């Protein structure tokens, strides 16, 4: 996996962020096991709660097109530091991704990033196996 490329994709994904309320743009780039990349941006709403994070936009785009196996996601926000995914997005990741291998790349730039597994950012979470 080319981490720098995925980081760059997450930065590019911010272009279409719809953020009239927070003015805080976030971009995400989700890598499928077969090498495809789905971009997502945050999409806000006047009623606030319907707001969708960039990460979930990327997941929902991919799943709605039949993709359910993922390797990594890169995330970039209008912050000067690492942007960690919110709890709801971590829960969505846990639905589809192997916690031990799925990589979450926090990209400040294409050259400055940190990498965590889903397990590291979402320990002891509730997931599909718990319903079995
Ligand atoms: N946001 C994301 O898109 N991803 C995150 O991981 C954190 C927060 C968005 C939601 C909202 O549009 C804005 O950032 C401020 O919370």
The closest residue, in CA terms, to atom 13 on ligand 1 is: 24
pLDDT score, position 83: 97
Residue to probe by mutation, ligand 1, list 51, 61, 74, 81, most atoms within 8 Å of CB: 51
pLDDT score, position 80: 85
The closest residue, in CA terms, to atom 6 on ligand 1 is: 85
Asked if pLDDT for residue 73 goes beyond 80, the answer is: yes
Catalytic residue among 9, 15, 44, 55: 55
Three-state SS annotation for the chain: CCHHHHHHHHHHHHHHCECCCCCCCEEEEEEECCCCEEEEECECCCCCCCCECHHHHHHHHHHCCCCCCEEEEEEEECCCCCCCCCHHHHHHHHHHCCCCCCEEEEECCCCCEEEEEHHHHCCCCCCHHHHC
Share above pLDDT 70 across residues of the chain, in percent, rounded to a whole number? 100
- Annotated active-site residue 55? The verdict is yes
The closest residue, in CA terms, to atom 4 on ligand 1 is: 53
Asked if pLDDT for residue 132 goes beyond 90, the answer is: no
CA of 132 to the centre of ligand 1 (A): 32
What are the tens digits of pLDDT across the range 23-60? Answer: 999 999 999 999 999 999 999 999 999 999 999 999 99
pTM > 0.85: yes or no: yes
């Amino acid at each position: 996996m080319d981490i720098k490329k995925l980081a760059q994709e997450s930065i590019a994904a911010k272009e279409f962020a719809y953020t009239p309320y927070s003015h805080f743009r976030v971009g995400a780039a989700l890598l499928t096991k077969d090498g495809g990349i789905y971009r997502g941006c945050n999409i806000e709403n006047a009623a606030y709660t319907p707001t969708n994070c960039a990460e979930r936009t990327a997941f929902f785009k991919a799943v709605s097109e039949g993709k359910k196996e993922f390797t990594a996601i890169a995330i970039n926000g209008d912050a000067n530091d690492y942007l960690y995914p919110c709890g709801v997005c971590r829960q969505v990741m846990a639905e589809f991704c192997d916690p031990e291998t799925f990589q979450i790349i926090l990209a400040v730039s294409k050259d400055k990033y940190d990498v965590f597994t889903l397990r590291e950012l979402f320990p002891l979470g509730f997931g599909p196996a718990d319903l079995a």
